[in-house]
Amino acid sequence: MRNPVAALLLGILIGAGGLYFMLPYDAAAVLSGRAEVAVSAGGAVPDVDRAGAGETLQRIKRRGFLHCGVSQGLAGFSSPDERGRWSGIDVDYCRAIAAAIFGDGEKVRFRPLSAKDRFTALQSGEVDILSRNTTWTMSRDTQLGFDFAGVIYYDGQAFMVRKDSGITNARQLAGATICTQTGTTTELNLADYFRGRGLEYRVLSFEKNDEAISAYDQGRCDGYTTDASGLYAERLKMQRPEDNIVLPEIISKEPLGPVVRQGDPQWADIARWTLSALLNAEELGITSENIEEMRESENPLVRRLLGAEGSYGASVGLGPDWVIDIVRAVGNYGEIFERNVGVDTPLGIERGLNALWTDGGVMYAPPIR
């Protein structure tokens, strides 16, 4: 830089910029005209104000669609078909939220995430909600800055082995090599199970579930482990599904549920009550087929759920017809379950624990009133 005037200007600019950033926060705020905020908050901008209750919903509305984090392909939970359309329980839940917000279950974009990347993606705001067969655990709830919205599927971890190995229960797996996906509770439960019984084992952890499956399928491992629902889903992908069996032991509790970032209570409420609405709709017999008739119902429970009485939608920033939109878009919880993983699907999973509490299951949603 030959020109001394330009050099001088550059020097001053860089110096001033440096000074500005090095000033204490308040002073910088005063200088940049943010004085009122800083003063009124007593020198520090309060957290809640910045995280902004309702900020997530506003951002989604401005954007015009929901960003939903799903798996990279797990049949019955979230997997794309040959035309790229996503389906599954976790996918339908996101469509339900989109319907509650926009009245249109299609206003959602799915982002496939690996088990390893999913939490970072949610923390960084890349997705608005993580609906990705994620187990609700204390450490995830408390240390990662997340809130779980509830349980959408009660699962448990199990093992799959080759039929010709002659193994009939998990205790016979001593000394076996087990394939699994890295960054999951599965990896930890596996360790707990073998450690608790003093059994030897080797674990081979893959970054992608498909890689773990193919490693097992090609004989690199003696067994493969993940949630029982996942085992049935993954078995469909194998060269010869009928040559593999799922062992009867369930070695862990895996309550799977949608996750949101902490700090926006309204958004957490929307996530929680969308799930509750799906369950309550099933309990009250509201389906995607009879929803129009149900609008005329005299049952006060139905009237409250469908927005004919009270203003429950408005209390979470949604319209009065939010549940009607949800049920129109995806049906109730039972319909979602039967459509994606139920006995008439290739997965053929019984309701079991996931039946409503009135039918002997543990699905019990808090009432909407």
Interface residues with other proteins (CB under 8 A) are 4, 7-8, 10-12, 14-22, 25, 47, 50-51, 115-116, 119-120, 123, 139-140, 143-145, 165, 172-177, 182-184, 187-188, 190-192, 194-195, 201-207, 211, 215, 218-220, 222, 261-263
Nearest approach in angstroms of CB 269 to other proteins is 17
Alpha-carbon distance 268 to 51, whole Å? 13
Cβ closest to other proteins, residue 71 vs residue 276: 71
Instruction: Indicate the Cα dihedral angle 147, 149, 151, 157, nearest 10°.
Output: -30
- Select 45 or 301, whichever has its Cβ closest to other proteins: 45
Q: Which residues contact 203 (CB under 8 A, 6 or more apart)?
A: 177, 178, 180, 187, 190, 191
- Residue identified by tokens 């009237």 is 303
Please, what is the minimum distance in Å from the beta carbon of residue 14 to other proteins? 4
Residue closer to other proteins, measured from CB, 207 or 249:
207
Q: Which residues pair with 246 in a beta bridge?
A: 160
Query: Least CB distance from residue 261 to other proteins, whole Å?
Result: 6
User: Would you state the structure tokens that stand for residue 273, as one six-digit string?
Assistant: 């009550």
Using the structure block, give the residue that is written with the tokens 């910088």.
28
Decide whether 257 or 342 has the Cβ nearer to other proteins.
Answer: 257
CB nearer to other proteins: give 220 or 328: 220
Least distance between other proteins and beta carbon 7 (Å): 6
Shortest Å, Cβ 188 to other proteins: 5
Nearer to other proteins, 3 or 311 (CB): 3
Q: Shortest distance, CB of residue 263 to other proteins, whole angstroms? A: 6
> What is the nearest approach in angstroms of other proteins to the Cβ of residue 200?
8
SS3 string, the chain, reads CCCHHHHHHHHHHHHHHHHHHHCCHHHHHHHCCCHHHHHHCCCCCCHHHHHCCCHHHHHHHHHCCEEEEECCCECCCEEECCCCCEECHHHHHHHHHHHHHHCCCCCEEEEECCCCCHHHHHHCCCCCEECCCCECCHHHHHHCCEEECCCCEEECEEEEEEHHHCCCCHHHHCCCEEEEECCCHHHHHHHHHHHHCCCCCEEEEECCHHHHHHHHHCCCCCEEEEEHHHHHHHHCCCCCHHHEEECCCCCCCEEECCEEECCCHHHHHHHHHHHHHHHHHHHCCCCCCCHHHHCCCCCHHHHHHCCCCCCCCHHHCCCCCHHHHHHHHHCCHHHHHHHHCCCCCCCCCCCHHHCEHHHCCCECCCCCC
- Shortest separation between residue 329's beta carbon and other proteins, angstroms: 30
Residue (34 or 328) nearer to other proteins, CB: 34
Which one, 173 or 327, has the nearer CB to other proteins?
173
271/349 with CB nearer other proteins: 271
What is the smallest separation between the CB atom of 149 and other proteins, expressed in angstroms?
A: 16
Give the span between the Cα atoms of 52 and 45, in whole angstroms: 12
Query: Whole-number minimum distance, CB 193 to other proteins, in Å?
Result: 11
Query: For other proteins, which is the closer residue by CB, 116 or 339?
Result: 116
